[in-house]
Amino acid sequence: MRSPRALPIWVLPGVALLGAAAGLSFAKPVGAAFAPAALHYLVPPLLFEAAWNLDLVAVRHAWRPVAMLVLPGVAVAALCVTGALLLLSFSLPLAWVVGAALSATDPVAVIAFARSVGAPTGLVATVEAESLFNDAIAVALVRASNFVLALVAGALGATAGDLLGRLICAIRLRSPFLLWAVSVLGVYGVAAATEAFGGSGIIAVVTLGIFMRTRIEKTIEEVTLDAVEALWRWAAVALNFVLFAWMGASFNLSDTRSALIGAALVLVALLVARLVATLGFLRLLADLGSVHRRFIATAGVRGALSLALVFTIDPSMAGVQSARAIVFVAVLSTMLIGLFALPRSAKKLLEAGP
């Protein structure tokens, strides 16, 4: 069972804040014009990195809490955020899309946070799997994806991952950089091929990462895989900086006051939804103690995908600019809250013992 090294817990929030600060100094039309492209160019490698490191053995053991968090968790979060935005007089279509975009936790931030505080493998696997699978559902909700096309996208990514893995094993690829480069080409190739027929490149990239890693991990030397993992880990840090800078460049400072008020209400909605999912739904599992549920509750960090999805909304819709500002502030806020809340819940978890 692999145990990936973790980044210090402050790295991603720090990178996000630096990126946002840098972006705020950019020309606003530049950021606004190119922000929607983030979903196609920046988010796929971020999700691949998370899928690549997913511990499937641990996920199989944690399938019950994952199942409860994936479908009901997304639904409750989307409905709560939608309700909050309706109170702010947003239209129902816009409120629902933004609610769906904010419904899924961010795998890169959650995984980095959970591992850095030394959480047990089973709980890390739970929040990892929740993040990845919820992301696929959130993308489907925001983009109104056809269910059959979503399945085809997942199958395409899985097939490509298996074939790439077989090729890598057959030629005994030993260079970490070449293996990383092959995976990068796979990410963009599969995402582009899937988007070409109207499917979700995000879903395809997630299954690509899972199946590719599963195929090669018993053949390729562990030291090589560790080096590839390090390359992806720091690539994720760099991509997060670029993404937050990109989004910051489209943030209008004149929207600051309304964004703070709206983000505060959205954060309350996300908190309520998280408590319902973790302290409500998960109470049905007798083998999951209260301290474990509290830890999962504090892992509800939002990030790259929520930002990218909200920038795919039709800019002609009334209130879109305000909605983007609210999501921008809300995402940064959840990262900062997680920075302080997760270590405390992890400490109580470790003090409680197995």
In a domain, 5, yes or no: no
Give mean pLDDT, residues 153-179.
92
In a domain, 121, yes or no: yes
In a domain, 294, yes or no: yes
In a domain, 140, yes or no: yes
Residue 278, H or E segment: none
Structural tokens at position 113:
């946070």
- Residue 45 to residues 11, 65, 192, 324, Cα–Cα distance (Å): 18, 27, 13, 23
If one compares 43 and 8, the residue with the highest pLDDT of the two is: 43
Dmax over CA atoms of the chain, in Å, equals 59
Q: What digits encode the pLDDT tens for the residues 107-117?
A: 666 676 666 66
- Which amino acid, 150? A
What does the pLDDT read at residue 144?
63
pTM confidence score: 0.83
Closest CA to 121 of 67, 64, 60, 74: 60
If one compares 27 and 155, the residue with the highest pLDDT of the two is: 155
Give mean pLDDT, residues 320-328.
86
What does the pLDDT read at residue 204?
92
Q: Helix, strand, or coil here: 276?
A: helix
Structural tokens at position 306:
């929520």
In a domain, 109, yes or no: yes
Closest CA to 313 of 143, 197, 141: 143
Output the domain CATH number for residue 321: 1.20.1530.20
What does the pLDDT read at residue 209?
93
* pLDDT band at 305; cut points 50, 70, 90: confident
If one compares 227 and 143, the residue with the highest pLDDT of the two is: 227
Range of 346's domain?
Answer: 11-352
* pLDDT band at 76; cut points 50, 70, 90: very high
In a domain, 3, yes or no: no
Gap between the Cα atoms of 99 and 155, Å rounded: 27
Give mean pLDDT, residues 195-220.
89
Gap between the Cα atoms of 301 and 208, Å rounded: 24
Q: Helix, strand, or coil here: 144?
A: coil
Gap between the Cα atoms of 124 and 139, Å rounded: 23
- Residue 107 to residues 110, 129, 165, 200, Cα–Cα distance (Å): 5, 8, 23, 17
What does the pLDDT read at residue 30?
53
Residue 123 contacts residue 186 (beta carbons within 8 Å) = no
Chain position carrying tokens 């490191």: 53
Gap between the Cα atoms of 2 and 290, Å rounded: 27
* pLDDT band at 289; cut points 50, 70, 90: confident
Chain position carrying tokens 């691949």: 48
Residue 264 contacts residue 3 (beta carbons within 8 Å) = no
- 151-162 burial, b for 16+ CB within 10 Å, e for fewer? ebbbebbbebbb
In a domain, 195, yes or no: yes
Distance of CA 176 to the CA centre of its chain: 25
Q: What's the mean pLDDT when you consider all of the chain? A: 83
In a domain, 2, yes or no: no
Gap between the Cα atoms of 168 and 47, Å rounded: 21
Residue 4 contacts residue 115 (beta carbons within 8 Å) = yes
What does the pLDDT read at residue 179?
94
Q: How many domains does the chain have?
A: 1
